[in-house]
Amino acid sequence: MGRYSIPFMGVLLLFCLVSSSEAEYLKYKDPKAPLNVRISDLLKRMSLEEKIGQMTQIERSVATPDVMNKYFIGSVLSGGGSVPATKASAASWQQMVNQMQKAALSTRLGIPMIYGIDAVHGHNNVYNATVFPHNVGLGVTRDPVLIKKIGEATALEVRATGIPYVFAPCIAVCRDPRWGRCYESYSEDPKIVKTMTEIIPGLQGDIPGNSIKGVPFVAGKNKVAACAKHYLGDGGTNKGINENNTLISYNGLLSIHMPAYYDSIIKGVSTVMISYSSWNGMKMHANKKLITGYLKNKLHFKGFVISDWQGIDRITSPPHANYSYSVQAGVSAGIDMIMVPFNYTEFIDELTRQVKNNIIPISRIDDAVARILRVKFVMGLFENPYADPSLANQLGSKEHREIAREAVRKSLVLLKNGKSYKKPLLPLPKKSTKILVAGSHANNLGYQCGGWTITWQGLGGNDLTSGTTILDAVKQTVDPATEVVFNENPDKNFVKSYKFDYAIVVVGEHTYAETFGDSLNLTMADPGPSTITNVCGAIRCVVVLVTGRPVVIKPYLPKIDALVAAWLPGTEGQGVADVLYGDYEFTGKLARTWFKTVDQLPMNVGDKHYDPLFPFGYGLTTNITKY
């Protein structure tokens, strides 16, 4: 045995040296290595196939483990309403995400995938999540501290389902309420929208003081990567038509639609999503000047740029008419990750062909992949790729619902209080003999939450998720001796025959999202107008509007005693009753101009011919101590 000991030790020593060298060789796996060292080390190891896989984002319904592994897929998303199962639990979501992640990590280089989801007013796709007011209401609060708290709560609920990336916030500046996405905008005023970017440090964490401008930042596994969207000018399209053309000068584009992006980048936003819309006839998904020239080079944005859903397909009209051109135009413009989301082999094959034929230079691919890897490294995905089961109890927590309830209270705007200022109706008395609650939206959690809730377009009814309707909130707030009668659409005889002390009428719009919400007439849904006429024509009433934007109200205003804009308050309807009954004062001020007629549109504060029904910044208060 003795004569084998020296050679054996030599082999053992050689093995140790090789192992040591190999461990040192994989610099990208060392969390202590500098960020740029990790990126360059991994990038130089990657094949073209692996690089293009990183640039590909596919929908969860096609993201099988085999697909993830075979095509080196870098990202997966849930489209609106795309869930592992109806009313899926946090654990079910975690299991699904982990399964995809396991497949991604089983590839040669073990690069984790990043899962993204629309969490635009809380974790809105997920059953039992806290649904916060839509942005149109949050802008009314003008409260960046509250908005940051909403970001923090949303991040925890999203992480509760194992997801590390959200397509939020929408920092559009909606200049025309006819646009179907206007409720996703905080305000018509770029200054308010800019202030609301405080949701980004809520989602991602506070950026360290010594950070380089433009470098993305995510503070650990309780935070999520955010996405500022939709770049640029999505809220300024002609007549508010979704995905349409924004006709504005370069200076106008920068002064109205760009300010919130400056702030988002300074706050370390991880990703930016490109808008479907065009600027002066040029599709934003093909606009190299604004994506590469302005966003990346001038603003020094170092995160990754992502397309919208089938966004590059829509560079041509009709969509997908010339896919080769779409791939070339979109990637050359500076889009780093393509939300495919289904036909991934077509995208991968086409981009591969173009790179191999020198149509798209490999330097553009390397830039895209470096940016995607930078975000993944910064997030800690390489160190913590899997879901944290201990966070599951954060979904719909009591603490988060209290934050949402506060947001509802602060987002309400009192537009009218009494037919004479000497006879205010609000705050309502809790103790009465009999009161009427009426309207299609009084006992409808789905209408209260609006679009982008459980499904893409939203759902009516009370079975979509858990929460408190305005009717339930009223019942829980009034004195136990007060009889509350609910009739969705009573006729005048019913109203007169019951001798009600007063009525609360809750009406508004049905749910919608994106193009389905585009409206040239901006009327409330039937039978809203007739309910107002029947009830408010007979007894004293407060009308609560549940809408994604200002709607036509002027013809009914003389009949109404008190009028409240509640926007789309989400699951915590108790916040509405809190203010109606005087437990808290009205503090909300309009962040949008309320028009007299749709013929005036577009009309924004500062316009020469500004003649609103209720101006920007308007909002009455109730002095609780007085009553």
CA 122 distance to own-chain centroid: 8
Cβ atoms of 616 and 593 closer than 8 Å: yes
Active-site residue 313, yes or no?
A: no
Supply φ then ψ for residue 194, to 5 degrees: -60, -45
Residue 318: strand, helix, or coil: coil
Strand order in the sheet with 503-508: 413-417, 562-565, 541-546, 503-508, 434-438, 483-487
The strand pair at 114-117 and 503-508 is best described as: unpaired
8 A C-beta contact, residue 517 and residue 448: no
Q: Which of 184, 234, 514, 572 is catalytic?
A: 514
Structure tokens at 358: 């020198």
Q: Which two tokens stand for residue 102?
A: 């396991």
What backbone torsions phi and psi does residue 398 show, to the nearest 5 degrees?
-60, -40
Between 144-160 and 398-411, two packed helices, what is the crossing angle to 10 degrees? 150
The residue ranges of DSSP E strands in 413-548, in sequence order, are 413-417, 434-438, 483-487, 503-508, 541-546
Q: Are 171 and 165 in contact (CB under 8 A)?
A: no
What separation, in Å, do the N-terminal and C-terminal C-alpha atoms of the chain show?
100
Query: What span, in angstroms and rounded, lies between the C-alpha atoms of 492 and 165?
Result: 51
User: What Cα–Cα distance (Å) separates residue 201 from each residue in 29, 85, 458?
Assistant: 27, 31, 28
Q: What Å distances lie between residue 231 and 79, 85, 169, CA to CA?
A: 19, 32, 12
Let me know: does 258 contact 279? Beta carbons within 8 Å.
no
Which residues are CB-neighbours of 606 under 8 A, at least 6 positions away?
A: none
State how far the alpha carbon of 337 is from the alpha carbons of 78, 88, 355, 589, in Å.
Answer: 15, 28, 16, 39
What CA–CA distance (Å, rounded) separates 451 from 181?
9
DSSP state of 299: S
Sequence-distant (6+) residues with CB within 8 A of 26 are 41
- Chain center to CA of 622: 32
Active-site hit among 263, 308, 472, 509? 308
Whole-angstrom CA distances from 411 to 173, 202, 366 are: 18, 19, 45
- Whether 514 is a known active-site residue: answer yes
Q: Which residues are catalytic?
A: 308, 514
